[in-house]
Amino acid sequence: MRILSSRSDVELLGGIGRGCEESFRLFFRRWSPRLLRFLTQATGSREAGEDLLQEAFIRIYQAAPRYEPRGSIAAWLYRICANLAYSYWRRQRLARPAIDGDRAMIELRAPASEEPDQARLLRAFEIDLDRALGNCGRNQRAVFLLKTCAGLTYAEIAETLECPVGTVKSRYHHAVRILRRSLERWECVDLAGGRSEK
């Protein structure tokens, strides 16, 4: 008999569906770091990412008894997380004013006599990146994050979002164009060293 840790994801989901707590714990340990990375990037907040991760695993637990392995488990899991991200973005758009990236750059320059430290520089970039991602439509944003953060292929993203591969490629390239345009002012900034290349 194989030990629990060597069981496949499908076997673990079967165990979860039968109420096996150890299967759930192992499945959580196996998948939570990757899903949390995606959700944290999608929300721009570790705390919000952790909240959505809990909700994702509640949904996984509830759906496990009905799970039928038709496609990849990764696509199924990221579909759950992408749906949670869509709901989060909708709530945030209704509840929160737009991020002011210009204000972040003003704060970055003050006080004028000091060189901005690395933490302030990275925070200003994160604010601009969050705003730039907000300029993407939700479908473009989801595809971009699934590709860059989750590391999925175009085919896996297509399966996750249940759309053609050509649509995924188009959405990704559209998101990249928006981000490049929105983040132009960062082109000559060395974020690793914190100094301008000009």
pLDDT value of position 97: 43
Would residue 166 count as lying in a domain?
Answer: no
Q: Is residue 72 part of a domain?
A: yes
Look at the chain and report how many structural domains it folds into.
Answer: 1
* Residue 68 domain flag: yes
The confidence band for 3, taking pLDDT boundaries of 50, 70 and 90, is low
Judged on CB neighbours under 10 Å (0-12, 13-18, 19+), 50 is middle
pLDDT digits (tens, 9 = 90+) for 29-71: 999 999 999 999 899 889 999 999 999 999 999 999 998 878 8
Q: Residue 50 domain-assigned?
A: yes
Domain-embedded: residue 125: no
Residue 90: exposed, middle, or buried by beta-carbon count in 10 A (0-12, 13-18, 19+)?
exposed
> What's the predicted TM-score (pTM) here?
0.75
What percentage of the chain carries pLDDT values higher than 90?
56
Task: Express each pLDDT in 121-173 by its tens digit.
Answer: 788 888 888 888 888 889 999 999 999 989 999 999 999 999 999 999 999 99
Residue 42: which CATH number? 1.10.1740.10
In-domain check, residue 49: yes
Tell me the residue range of the domain where 47 lies. Answer: 1-96
